[in-house]
Amino acid sequence: MSIAPAIPHVIDRATCTALDAADPLAGHRELFDLPEGVVYLDGNSLGALPRATAARVQRVIAEEWGTGLIRSWNDAGWFTKPIDLGDRIAPLIGAAAGEVVLGDSTSGSLFQVAVAAARLRPERRVIVSELGNFPTDLYVLESVQELVGEPGRPLERRLIGGDGIPGPTLADVLDDDVAVVVLTHVNYRTGRMYDMNEVTRQVQAAGAIMVWDLCHSVGAVPVDLNGAGADFAIGCTYKYLNGGPGSPSFIWAAERHHPEARPAITAWHGHAKPFDFDVEYAPAPGITRFRVGTPQLLSVAALEASLDIWRDVDLELLREKSLRLTELFISLVDSRLAPWGIEVVTPRQSARRGSQVALRAGGADGYAVMQALIERGVIGDFRAPDLMRFGFTPLYVSHADVWDAVATLEDILSTEVWRDSRFARRGAVT
Ligand SMILES: Cc1ncc(COP(=O)(O)O)c(C=O)c1O
Ligand SMILES: Nc1c(O)cccc1C(=O)C[C@H](N)C(=O)O
């Protein structure tokens, strides 16, 4: 793992623009259509719009749908798109060709995979996850517990603590009754990153199956699923991969599991011979069996355009820049925001950090501070109960953006403008 160059001790905006001038990834920003004057630090929730996306979607609408009509299932390769784009996601997560397929939503894909994982350990009765996981994962696992357990006797759930949340450790809960462990590699709130190799080893040493949620990892940090020897993974493509709102999830299953895997939903796009229209289900060989029904081809088209950008991104350079941006942000917060008691919640040890930083707002109301920032064009988000989140997408966030974000934050805190009633909590969804 490469280590980001040290951030100089004395930093001013000119230092940041000099870092931008020396940044080998700086040119990628031009590939995105970001509004003028916006510092976009929410690519960990919804990635920015690639410039090529609109034309690609328009072409699929006009040519493939409008003119090609039903012929496009063959002529435009619609039927195999989920596999073809899976192959293009594979190098970003350390997977081999033929091991990744597009799914529907991440939640649905987790259901598909977690059921398959639990069925590989039929004699075991426990699913492990974490209290700090993104809640949809826990909600999905409740269904898995019921479906895979016996009637009236669902699988048991054990949740570990971490990220400041009290609870048992992984070592505490692992025993020979644990079938599956589902963890999110980079935590959605704190940005804390697990050691994938070490955790996978620990889980498999207990005889359990390891499932990783890569929503906050893919396109943010290098991931090596095969290197770690993991079992299954799922993730979304609308964050750091910039596939657009509602772009499809992906599923990875280690090749060794393909022949045995029995996903939750057995549907026709996962059938061995879908156009034989047999009455009986027969799983397709390989990762295809995880497919469900008709792919959302307009979203797939948008994803395809964004994946073009990833063809020539060096993931080591990406990681170096990500660490430089988060380190710069943390050191500016430390040096400039100390008077307001702003606390960095994200691990300071770079190997333990994804590509986002969470701050606790000290005596200020973090929600109101974030609304004031957004009004000033610095877009991050707030996660209850008290975290301001800032995502640093290395492809389009600059060092000067980091400077401007912290300077704006300092101004908002020192003027206390956040106290204005227009920033008070309302019922917005995100
Ligand atoms: C870790 C994690 N898992 C899952 C999801 C969401 O899944 P879905 O794409 O089904 O909304 C998110 C974010 O929304 C997430 O951060
Ligand atoms: N997926 C989202 C959605 O459907 C609506 C609003 C936000 C989202 C997000 O992606 C949230 C994101 N996973 C998070 O880490 O908070």
Q: What confidence tens digit (pLDDT) does each residue in 78-88 have?
A: 999 999 999 99
pLDDT at 1: 44
> 263-317 pLDDT, tens per residue?
999 999 999 999 999 999 999 999 999 999 999 999 999 999 999 999 999 999 9
CB 33 within 8 A of CB 51: yes
pLDDT for residue 224 is more than 60: yes
pLDDT at 3: 46
pLDDT at 154: 95
- Residue ranges with strand state E in 227-331: 232-235, 250-253
pLDDT at 426: 79
Alpha carbon of 189 to ligand 2 centroid (Å): 11
pLDDT for residue 125 is more than 50: yes
Alpha carbon of 65 to ligand 2 centroid (Å): 30
> 30-58 pLDDT, tens per residue?
999 999 999 999 999 999 999 999 999 99
Q: Which of the residues 111, 232, 238, 392 is marked catalytic? A: 238
CB 71 within 8 A of CB 65: no
pTM more than 0.90: yes
Say yes or no: CB of residue 109 within 6 Å of ligand 1: no
CB half-sphere exposure, 104, CA atoms < 13 A: 15
pLDDT for residue 2 is more than 70: no
Phi first, then psi, for residue 170 (nearest 5°) are -60, -45
Say yes or no: CB of residue 430 within 6 Å of ligand 2: yes
423 catalytic? Reply is: no
Burial per residue of 120-140, b for 16 or more beta-carbon CB atoms within 10 angstroms, e otherwise: bbeebbbbbbbebbbeebbeb
What is the ipTM score, two decimals?
Answer: 0.98
Phi first, then psi, for residue 363 (nearest 5°) are -80, -5
pLDDT for residue 5 is more than 70: no
194 catalytic? Reply is: no
pLDDT at 430: 72
Say yes or no: CB of residue 247 within 6 Å of ligand 2: no
Mean pLDDT of 242-266: 98
State percent of the chain over pLDDT 70: 97
Domains of the chain by start residue, with CATH: 13-31+314-423 (3.90.1150.10), 54-310 (3.40.640.10)
What CA–CA distance (Å, rounded) separates 248 from 349?
32
pLDDT at 8: 64
Show the tokens assigned to 123: 């004699």
Distances (CA, A) of 54 to 33, 50, 84: 10, 8, 21
Q: How confident is the model at residue 417 (pLDDT cuts 50, 70, 90)?
A: very high
Residues 6+ apart with CB under 8 A from 18: none
Alpha carbon of 396 to ligand 2 centroid (Å): 20
213 catalytic? Reply is: yes
Show the tokens assigned to 300: 């797939």
